Structure 1
Amino acid sequence: MISLRIDGALFNYRVAGVAVLNGKVLLHKTPSDNFWTLPGGRCELFEFSKDTLQREMQEETGMDAKAGEMLWVSENFFLYNGDKYHEIGFYFDMQISDLPGQADFLGSEGQDELLFHWHDVTDLHSIRIYPEFLADALAKNPLEKGHFSSPFRNLDAADPISS
């Protein structure tokens, strides 16, 4: 996985999928996290980003997903569980072929449980979602392509932190 520890910080190359259906977007979180994010994961060395999304969805949910058009690129800096992260994220339109419906379901990342939930795109400002640009970007219909950068955030707290 492309996650490098450099001078006490971590660099991540993450790929995520945007599945919007009936005005709702698929998000996930671990039981211990107090925020939601789009499903996806870290790219492996010499793996194309679209392939990363398909692999991660298969590993985490057992579902077949297809990565479509790239929507967003994000440069995101945050503190999570005591580690500073510098994350480059690629966000793709995602279609899930064997989607059983829009009920909540569980997945897993290794030994960790993941809760998947379909959130109404008009309600995203009432929840904690990261990176923060997602609340506005997902509310647009049609979705607009873009490049976003986020200042340092502490994902375990509501206020920005200093670098």
Structure 2
Amino acid sequence: MEIDILIEAPGWSETGLETLAADAFAATLAELGLDPGRCAVSLLACDDARIAGLNAEFRGKPTPTNVLSWPAEERGADSPGGMPRLPGPGGAGPPEELGDIALALETCVREAEEAGRPLEHHLAHLLVHGLLHLLGFDHETDADATLMEGLETRVLARLGVPDPY
């Protein structure tokens, strides 16, 4: 999988983000039967101030959040709880751009501490969550949330991360 990581905030270099992202994305794609060699993602590792600005600009919420996702293509399911339209097998040529994900370090650290989880486990969960959003999964309805959370739990189990729910 092609992952373009931009680290904007100090502290990210100590998290092992590159390895966490590669492992989380590979496990997610494997769970869905997708070829990692055909997919590309951009990842922004920023601080709370930067993500608050992005959250304000794109969601109208001027506060920090843990993860934001911008899918390159609308893939949402036709009905609540249904599978989104996942990328096809592809052919020759460059990997398909799935979209962009941003993570905010301070919020991620605080949430992991509050939940009593290792930061690496929390980051793995957020990376899986963000990638699932890029692939068209959502949690707007109970049926959608059930599908997405079930996938997250299975992917995290592949990574040796306990169920966060």
TM-score (ref. length: structure 2): 0.28
Higher helix share: 2
Higher strand share: 1
TM-score (ref. length: structure 1): 0.29
